[in-house]
Amino acid sequence: MYALLKKEISVFLSSLIGYIVIGVFLVSIGLIMWVLPLDFMDSNILEGGYAGIDPLFVLAPWLFLFLIPAVTMRSFAEEKRSGTMELLLTRPITDMQIVAAKFFACVLLVVLALLPTLVYYYSVYKLGYPPGNLDAGRTWGSYLGLLFLAGGFVSIGVFASAITGNQVISFIVAVILCFFCYTGFGYLGSSLSSGIVGNFVSQLGISAHYSSMSRGVIDTRDVIYFVSVSVVFLLMSRVSIESRKW
């Protein structure tokens, strides 16, 4: 499993697309947070006069909707296209280990894309008045929430890649599924009613749980939710690749 995980990371980093995806993510975040006018999503830190990187945690999920499908789209789709899927399935590891290796490799790549954003944290930490006037606990809690969100999106992307042999289709399906899981249940819940049923439907969506964690509040229910979403989609991915043996 470790060998497969290492191979997935090296293949992604050895391709130009990998650096383009990470570069576009970082440039987009940087421009919106530091350069574009304040009235653009109220996100410009320098004009806002507030020591915090909250715009990062507001913007990142929307960029993840495209970044993560771009990272996961080749997970199984490329194996099927190149004809190496059968060879992969004959390795002395279980189907779930194959899925898990793909999942953790993609999560590590997303973490790699997030690491440079720590420069923003350090910059705001130094620019604050007085220096260090920054809610570190909330910030690190929000980063943890972002990692859980990334794990949920990655599991959806891996599933999308497992059900198709075309990377473009995998990307599109992953974007649609991630968008629906992030915002769809919230819209459905608000359209039903403001009662118990509407609230229950809204809580099925990723956005409701991420919003809580992005404020730095680590609730066990939110953690269980994200773990459950990831496990469900990874199990469906395993079922999809097992069906090739039938």
Torsion of CA 18, 146, 97, 240, to 10 degrees: -80
Q: How far apart are CA 229 and CA 205, in angstroms?
A: 10
154 band by pLDDT with thresholds 50, 70 and 90:
very high
Q: Where are the domains of the chain?
A: 2-245
Asked if pLDDT for residue 38 goes beyond 70, the answer is no
Place of tokens 């075309």: 166
Q: What is the mean pLDDT of residues 213-237?
A: 88
Asked if pLDDT for residue 152 goes beyond 60, the answer is yes
Asked if pLDDT for residue 42 goes beyond 60, the answer is no
Structure confidence at residue 148 (pLDDT): 93
Q: Is 132 left (phi over 0), alpha (psi -120 to 50) or beta?
A: left
CB 67 within 8 A of CB 21: yes
Q: What is the pLDDT of residues 84-108, one digit of tens each?
A: 777 777 777 888 888 998 899 999 9
Instruction: Report how far apart, in Å, the C-alpha atoms of 44 and of each of 30, 53, 137 are.
Output: 10, 10, 22
Six-digit token pair at 194?
């403001």
Structure confidence at residue 57 (pLDDT): 85
The one-letter amino acid at 57: F
Q: What is the pLDDT of residues 159-218, one digit of tens each?
A: 999 998 888 999 999 999 999 999 888 777 777 666 777 777 778 888 888 888 877 777
232 band by pLDDT with thresholds 50, 70 and 90:
very high
Structure confidence at residue 37 (pLDDT): 64
Q: How far apart are CA 228 and CA 143, in angstroms?
A: 19
Structure confidence at residue 53 (pLDDT): 77
Average pLDDT for the chain: 82
Cα Rg of the chain, angstroms: 19
CB 157 within 8 A of CB 178: yes
Greater confidence, 7 or 154? 154
